[in-house]
Structure 1
Amino acid sequence: MESTPKASTEYLEELRIQLRSQGFTVHCGESRDMDVEYGGSTLCRIDDCGNLGYFAEKIAGKEAILDRIRETVRSTRKYMTLIEQAPPLEAEGLGEGYKLLAEFNGTVLAGHMTEYGAQFITWDWTHNRKSLWQGHYYGAGGDGGGYQAAKQNFAVRSGLLPSSALFTPEQLTEVYRSIHETLDSEYPLTDERRKLLESAAGQIEDVVLDLDKRVDLSNRAELDASHSGGMELS
C-alpha cells in the first residue's frame, strides 16, 4: 500500500497563515502536524501530508466551523499547487519568483511567495508586452481577500466577466443573513425552495472565508442602529 506523500513546507506554512488569519489557534509539533483550536477546544489535526482528522466528541454543534477548516485546507492546497506548477512570469523590472497562473486579453494573474505568505497580483501588459503595469495586489497573510479576490479581479479586468456579475463580500454577507432569516422563520417553504436557499447559503460559505466575522459585525451594527432609534439626523 502506497503512503501519502508529505506536503510541501510552503503549503503547510501557508495553511497555518490562512487558519490563523481566520481566528483559529494553530499549534505545530515537531512532526509538522498541526492541531487547530477554536474557542479553547482542539477541533482537528492536520498531518504533514495535509490530511485532516477531527475529534468527534469535540465538534458537536461546531460542524460548520469544521467545514470552514476543510474548505481552507482544500482551497489553500489548490492555489499552492497552481503556484508550484505554474511557469515563471518574466517581464522587464520584475523580480524572481513570480509565477504565471492565468493570462487572457492582455491581463495576467500572478502568484508570488513572500515571507508573509502567498500574494496574488493582476497586471496588464504594456503595448510592447515587455513590461507590466497597473498592479492590483491581494494577500499576503489573508489580507485583501487573497486568491479568491484576485481571481475575481482578473476575470473582470480581462473581460471574462462583467463587474455586474460579481457580488462583493459585503453584499454576499447580507444575502446570507437574509437567507437564514427566511429559513429560520415560520413562513411556509416548499422543499424545493428550502433546498435552493440552503444550497445558496453553502456556496456563500465557501466563497467568503471570514463570513462568521462579517455576519457578527453586521448583526452588531443593526442592533446598535435599533438601540439608537435607527435614524440619523442631519
Structure 2
Amino acid sequence: MCEITIQVNCPYCQSMKVVKNGVKRTGRQNSLCRGCGKQFQYVYQKAGCRPEVKRLVLRMLVRNSGIRDIEKVTGVHRQTVFRWLNQKAGSLQVSPRLEAYTSVQIDEVWTFVGQRKKRKRWLFYAYATETEEVLAWSWGNRNQRTVARLYKQLQALEIGRFCTDDWPAFGKVLPVEKHLVGKTYTRNIEGVNLCLRTRNRRIVRKTACFSKKEQNHYNAIKLICYYRNHHTL
C-alpha cells in the first residue's frame, strides 16, 4: 500500500516547522507555524483568507488594476481590498536612501477625488535621478504653501541643486543659488509623471476612474511611490 505525504510550508515565512493546531468550526484542519507563530489553514473557503491572494491584490493595486477589476479577478470583496490598501500603506515608510544628493528634480501632477474635477488635488514630489527614487511629496493646492511643505521635508538632506520648471512658486521657496529652471533639467521627472499616470488611473488626465475617499486616494499613491522605490511589497 502506497502512502502519500504532503509537506506543508508556512505561507508567511515558508518554514517547514508546521504542526496541527485543532479544527475550525467549519471542520477544516488548522495549522500552527513554530517558526513565526502564525496560524493558517491548508485550504481556505474564502479567497480573502489566503495570504497569496493578498499579495496578488497588492501587486495588482500598483499595476493599474481598478478596485472592481481586482474584485472580479480574485474573488475578494472590494471593501476587503480597500482595507488591505489602507493597512499596507499605513505600515510603509518612504525615506531617502542617502544623506546627500547631487541633483533633485521637483514637479507636480494633478489628480481629483470624487466626480468634481474642478476640485483638483495637486501632488508635488521630489525625485532623485542618481538613485531613481521618490524622496518626498506634499499634497495640497497648487501654491507656494504646498511647495514650502515639500521643501521642509528635504531640508535634512544635503542637496546640490534643485531642478524645476518655470512655475513661480518654486522660485519663491527654493534657494536661488541652488535652483535651476528649465524643461531641460526636468526630463527625468517628466518620465516619472508618465509612469505614475500609467500605474494609477486616478492620475490620467482623461479618465472615468476616481477615488471617492481622500484616504484611499492618497494611500494608493503612497503604495505606488513605495513600489517604485523598492520594487516589492
TM-score (norm 1): 0.23
Taking CA–CA contacts closer than 8 Å with sequence separation of 6 or more, which of the two structures ends up with the larger relative contact order? 2
TM-score (norm 2): 0.23
Q: Which has the greater radius of gyration?
A: 2
